[in-house]
Structure 1
């Protein structure tokens, strides 16, 4: 049998994808809004955990009530890998846009339903069971939400702007937190603490309905990403020529071929989201329960911190396009390790200015991770398995992060040591540092298995020239290696009488 070599055609300007600016803005808006919807619920849940504890677990003491409410927050993370596996397969087969339209429907509906659940006093054990069912539905849908949204933005972004544009996804996350927290404070201040515990806590969850409708409208109006569409066109062409369907890729095969990328993904997600949940979900309860601040006062501090994060977030993304993603992961991890204890010393000082400063330092360090995560993770995997690989690895690693509020609340309650959160963050910082050191740099490079993408034709020409220059450098390196090998050969041959 004669094997014919597949002829590789030289890259031309037509092979570089020019991104439509109007479609790009729509894609970022729709993805960020859906992500804001997801984190709006997480924000509301964290800020009303004390109220939910009294409504759904009234027989327990205050400490156990808070732990139980946060446990209900954490349990849905157990089903997120299942959601990631389910929606990841669908996303790689049918497209990113279709899956994201489904996840936002489930997410907004389940959040809205939390506000409808009667209290424990009305229906007994059915109340916490229904709460858990709604949270499990959320967890399943969220399993495909963030991964799909990050991929959607990454596949729509020009290579040179992927860090900046990807940072707006977590801008939506933080904005969702701010909206959720602000709404909780607003409703609580209007209706009073007694009425808030009676019925006012339900109102923030009802806001999920209009937000979800807007998100559904925006996502249904989107077109599929250029990268995935190219992938589908290639598959169709190959299938017609070979009369065979493309082979299915199992997670075992993904793990065997992409294990380095999977480990980098897991490490970055753990470092980012443990810090995220510690600061934005656990700290409101820490300030109110452990430090005995009024709920509104603690929430206002966190709101101010998150508002500051909104300004830092796109700046980190923009700088990562220039200096790379790795430096921010490494510096953020080192900073977290060095400043975790000093920050909690300030937080526990009782001085409002020092409390604010301690939380602000942690928030800026968190920005170092969130500013690059959405642009880094999708670039680790090739197009045909990107959704499946990222969704599964992301949601498996987020199991660790999702347990953070419950685990830390329990540890602090058992040990009565208010510095346990700092030690926990130091451990996570080590994971982040190792990840930053060993992960591959992806800034300004095309996505794996995809053609280069540019913002306009002038940038496409520059990318093409860079591609040619890179090929020339690689050929020069190979030529140098050949010369060195030839010298070694000659030196060895000179020692043998029968080899010239």
Structure 2
């Protein structure tokens, strides 16, 4: 750093304290991920208040879609703000992105629900999510580039790894806030208005973050480029319109970021939803378990960032992708057994099967809320099981067969709704629900996990395994992306693959995963999404991703 500053002509950029650079950039990441994690942590409350016009299963998936909507537009934000960052500068760009994101989050705390303003509620919520997603599209790239361009040679992995640690701190802060509120508030009060407080509190985080970032100077690499007239006049065209650069963007996406995204989401958000929706652990306990595991693995981000400065970025990241392929299915099964042993035992002892003709079964997801899933016997059966998070297998039956549900050796007939009027259909569905509930109770299927039976140490241990894999891909990632691209188009070039990976591939993992579970009845089906993408990244990365840790990033 001293050498960089002293090498400049008089009037060059001011030398900055390295700790301030890391803290200011990383605090933005804390705030950024605090905002995004709140949507995941409060998906059930958001579903209740903003998607009350649809059935429960669809409402939860729609809440996840609102969560994912912010991720969907992140690549567009990467293009907009990446271009600005390469032309105008790193510092001012991520000041703007932080302000947009923070104010959008704050506004959610005061947004009226569906019961007050009807369909306008989810529409406004979606708009706020889209604004956040656009802003975050420029945030990560700015922080990664800013820190790396201040880091001494041989320490870029170590310095930039702090960005990832603070992402986890954002989750821990959000989790702690939500758990604290749920602990000191009764459930009714929290669900009525207490869930709004974490969004309102974010205005304080925004103020602190903006104040600290205003103390920063522009990055020395950008200042030197600007002084020399070497900045790009058309960074998007140069980054994505020239094959020599576009090729590296594609390799970065499929050979690094895609795997990092699914491994990261399989370590924090997906387990949280999984514990609540599948293992039926109460929300406060699930939040506590995930936050505790993430707190324990935080030093690993820095360790793997430091290690990547010595042995390279690629071997660490590819090793994590390969391990994930073989670990996820057995580890998630172990997670269910540890979190809800009664459920795991019931699934083994008395598996549930839906016997029906596949052509009469609907996909158990209705984005407009018009399908009550009561038009066929198969739909009645699957709707009940999906709503209650029951793992089941499908057994094909001849066309025209009225569906039945087999719980172990017990068979429960499903009513055929054909020819029934609306009132009779509702009565038939209710009667089936009561019979299915009695059958599940008799087979030992619990309505929720018994808090006394949750093996917290084992759950945390399994979550730590997921977390260590995430730190192996996250720790070296920022340095790798910075080193892959030339300085004049760096902000644009690294932001797009990062946000396509984390915005589209990773951000939709919870939504797609739970839609796959709802459609098939197999509570582990959604894991295929992560396994396949990790495998693709391992192959592409091993074959095509260059090693970068000794590169000069001034060029």
Would you call these one fold, judging by a TM-score over 0.5?
A: yes
Distance 1:342 1:376, change over 3 A: same
Query: Shift of residue 433 of structure 1?
Result: 1.2
Structure 1 partner of 2:237:
251
Distance 1:439 1:197, change over 3 A: same
Query: Shift of residue 21 of structure 1?
Result: 7.8
The answer to whether the Cα contact below 8 Å between 2:83 and 2:235 also exists between their aligned partners in 1 is no
> Structure 2 CA distance, aligned partners of 1:248 and 1:150?
21
> Structure 2 CA distance, aligned partners of 1:425 and 1:407?
10
> Structure 2 CA distance, aligned partners of 1:126 and 1:443?
50
- Which TM-score applies when normalising by structure 2? 0.74
- 1:435-454 CA-partner distances (Å, limit 9, x unpaired): 431211121432151xxxxx
> Structure 2 CA distance, aligned partners of 1:249 and 1:19?
23
> Structure 2 CA distance, aligned partners of 1:89 and 1:246?
9
Q: Which of 536, 547, 553 is equivalent to 1:431?
A: 536
Q: Which of 250, 261, 269 is equivalent to 1:263?
A: 250
Distance 1:354 1:253, change over 3 A: closer
- Which TM-score applies when normalising by structure 1? 0.82
Query: Shift of residue 284 of structure 1?
Result: 1.7
Query: Shift of residue 185 of structure 1?
Result: 0.5
Query: Shift of residue 373 of structure 1?
Result: 0.8
Secondary structure of residue in 2 paired with 1:258: helix
> Structure 1 CA distance, aligned partners of 2:490 and 2:251?
14
- 1:178-218 CA-partner distances (Å, limit 9, x unpaired): 10011100011111211111000000111211111111111
Structure 2 partner of 1:212:
206
> Structure 2 CA distance, aligned partners of 1:335 and 1:282?
18
- 1:413-453 CA-partner distances (Å, limit 9, x unpaired): 1112122233222212212312431211121432151xxxx
> Structure 1 CA distance, aligned partners of 2:217 and 2:513?
43
Structure 1 partner of 2:509:
404
Query: Shift of residue 87 of structure 1?
Result: 0.7
Query: Shift of residue 310 of structure 1?
Result: 1.1
> Structure 2 CA distance, aligned partners of 1:20 and 1:336?
44
1:329 has 2:317 as partner: yes
The answer to whether the Cα contact below 8 Å between 1:81 and 1:395 also exists between their aligned partners in 2 is yes
More helix per residue: 1 or 2? 1
Structure 2 partner of 1:240:
none
Structure 1 partner of 2:360:
none
Secondary structure of residue in 2 paired with 1:224: coil
Q: Tell me the C-alpha RMSD between the 2 structures.
A: 2.3
What does residue range 103-122 of structure 1 map to in structure 2 within 5 Å?
A: 103-122=97-116
Q: In terms of mean alpha carbon deviation, does 166-175 or 384-393 score higher? A: 384-393
Structure 2 partner of 1:392:
496
> Structure 2 CA distance, aligned partners of 1:77 and 1:319?
30
> Structure 1 CA distance, aligned partners of 2:127 and 2:142?
23
Secondary structure of residue in 2 paired with 1:160: coil
> Structure 2 CA distance, aligned partners of 1:312 and 1:220?
30
> Structure 1 CA distance, aligned partners of 2:95 and 2:490?
18
What does residue range 361-400 of structure 1 map to in structure 2 within 5 Å?
A: 361-397=465-501, 398-400=503-505
- 1:466-485 CA-partner distances (Å, limit 9, x unpaired): xxxxxxxxxxxxxxxxxxxx
Query: Shift of residue 396 of structure 1?
Result: 2.7
1:91 has 2:85 as partner: yes
Structure 1 partner of 2:553:
447
Secondary structure of residue in 1 paired with 2:476: helix
- 1:373-404 CA-partner distances (Å, limit 9, x unpaired): 11111111101111111222322333122111
Which 4+ runs in 1 deviate beyond 6 A?
16-21
The answer to whether the Cα contact below 8 Å between 1:43 and 1:280 also exists between their aligned partners in 2 is no
Secondary structure of residue in 1 paired with 2:229: helix
Secondary structure of residue in 2 paired with 1:88: helix
Query: Shift of residue 33 of structure 1?
Result: 0.6
1:56 has 2:46 as partner: no
Structure 1 partner of 2:334:
346
Q: Which of 291, 297, 301 is equivalent to 1:313?
A: 301
What does residue range 32-51 of structure 1 map to in structure 2 within 5 Å?
A: 32-51=26-45
Number of equivalent positions: 431
Structure 2 partner of 1:475:
none
Q: Which of 141, 146, 150 is equivalent to 1:152?
A: 146
> Structure 2 CA distance, aligned partners of 1:60 and 1:250?
42
What does residue range 232-243 of structure 1 map to in structure 2 within 5 Å?
A: 232-235=226-229
